[in-house]
């Protein structure tokens, strides 16, 4: 835990495990999470599968809370505009205004303005973000071979490389927002750049280290499926 904290921007500031403004008298190592992992006496071994399941559950809960932020009226769905805003929220300030203009123009699109995105669709897109590296390699490679990337190509890449099924509504919104030239095709580089920044902002790494090594191993394992898609 100390090693992971040392390579995290927030953790590096609070190396003793304490955060300013919190009324605590001891390190976070004495908190409930460590007890959950290693038992009250700290001698229990942590099973790999238990840790993996914890991370999966944490990711699911974060996505649920994000969806709830937009679905504050508890409709069970969010508007196309809100879904689009969730995608561009972490965009670079140099490109943000242009993307926000595209989001606003959703109201003028008769086939998208009244679209509602379900929590399941939101979760599927969040799952794709987790597998961004193999997905980006697939769509860039496919685009170089076949020219412009169609919506069906985009869905096929998500399904066959990442095992994620995206609905026509979700892909339609993505193509509308990330159509830099307004020519009806996806600006894949801008799409990937925005999502990469979003995931980087969540992780907040300050330098290469232990977590980067884990990420590298995970990405290498996922990349083996790319060759199958491109073949």
Instruction: Give the 3-state secondary structure of 44-97.
Output: CCCCHHHHHHHHHHHHHHHHHHHHHHHCCCCCCEEEHHHHHHHHHCCCCHHHHH
| Closest C-alpha among 174, 189, 3 to residue 88 | 174
Residues of the chain with pLDDT under 50: 17-19, 21-25, 28, 205-231
Does residue 193 sit within a domain? yes
Strand partners, 77: 118
From residue 48, give the alpha-carbon distance in Å to each of 27, 45, 107, 145. Answer: 24, 9, 47, 40
* Terminal alpha carbon distance of the chain: 41
Tally of structural domains, the chain: 1
H or E segment at 18? none
Note the pLDDT of residue 225: 43
Could you tell me if residue 144 is inside a domain? yes
Provide the pLDDT for residue 175: 92
Query: Are 46 and 38 in contact, with CB atoms under 8 Å apart?
Result: yes
pLDDT at 223: 46
Query: Is residue 187 included in any domain, yes or no?
Result: yes
Q: Is 41 a member of any domain?
A: no
Asked if the structure places residue 112 within a domain, the reply is yes
Return phi, psi of residue 12, to 5°: -65, -30
Cα–Cα separations (whole angstroms), residue 89 to 189, 198, 224: 17, 8, 31
Distance CA 224, CA 136 (A): 14
Q: What is the pLDDT, as a whole number, of residue 198?
A: 72
Give a yes or no: residue 176 inside a domain: yes
What domain range is 69 assigned to?
A: 62-206+224-228
- Number of other CB atoms surrounding residue 7 within 10 Å: 17
pLDDT score recorded for residue 146? 60
The pLDDT of residue 193: 84
What is the reported pLDDT for 6?
65
Q: What's the mean pLDDT when you consider all of the chain?
A: 76
Contacts of 63 (CB under 8 A, 6+ apart): 122, 123, 126
In a domain, 100, yes or no: yes
Over residues 67-120, the pLDDT tens digits come to: 999 999 999 999 999 999 998 887 777 778 888 999 999 988 888 989 999 999
The verdict on residue 73 lying in a domain is yes
């Amino acid at each position: 835990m100390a090693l992971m904290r040392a390579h995290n921007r927030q953790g590096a500031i609070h190396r003793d495990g304490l955060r300013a403004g919190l009324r605590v008298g001891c390190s976070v190592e004495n908190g409930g999470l460590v007890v959950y992992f290693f038992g009250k006496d700290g001698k229990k071994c942590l099973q790999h599968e238990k840790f993996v399941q914890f991370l999966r559950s944490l990711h699911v809960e974060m996505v649920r809370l994000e969806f709830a932020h937009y679905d504050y009226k508890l409709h069970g769905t969010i508007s196309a505009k809100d879904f689009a805003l969730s995608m561009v929220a972490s965009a670079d300030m140099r490109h943000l205004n242009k993307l926000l203009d595209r989001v606003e123009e959703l109201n003028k699109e008769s086939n998208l303005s009244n679209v509602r995105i379900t929590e399941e669709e939101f979760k599927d897109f969040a799952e794709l973000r987790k597998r961004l590296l193999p997905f980006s390699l697939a769509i860039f490679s496919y685009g170089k071979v076949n020219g412009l990337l169609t919506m069906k190509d985009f869905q096929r890449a998500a399904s066959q490389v990442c095992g994620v099924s995206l609905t026509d509504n979700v892909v339609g919104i993505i193509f509308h927002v990330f159509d830099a030239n307004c020519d009806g095709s996806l600006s894949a580089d801008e799409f990937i750049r925005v999502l990469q920044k979003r995931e980087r902002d969540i992780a907040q790494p300050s330098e290469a280290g232990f977590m980067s090594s884990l990420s590298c191993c995970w990405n290498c394992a996922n990349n083996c499926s790319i060759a199958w898609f491109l073949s």
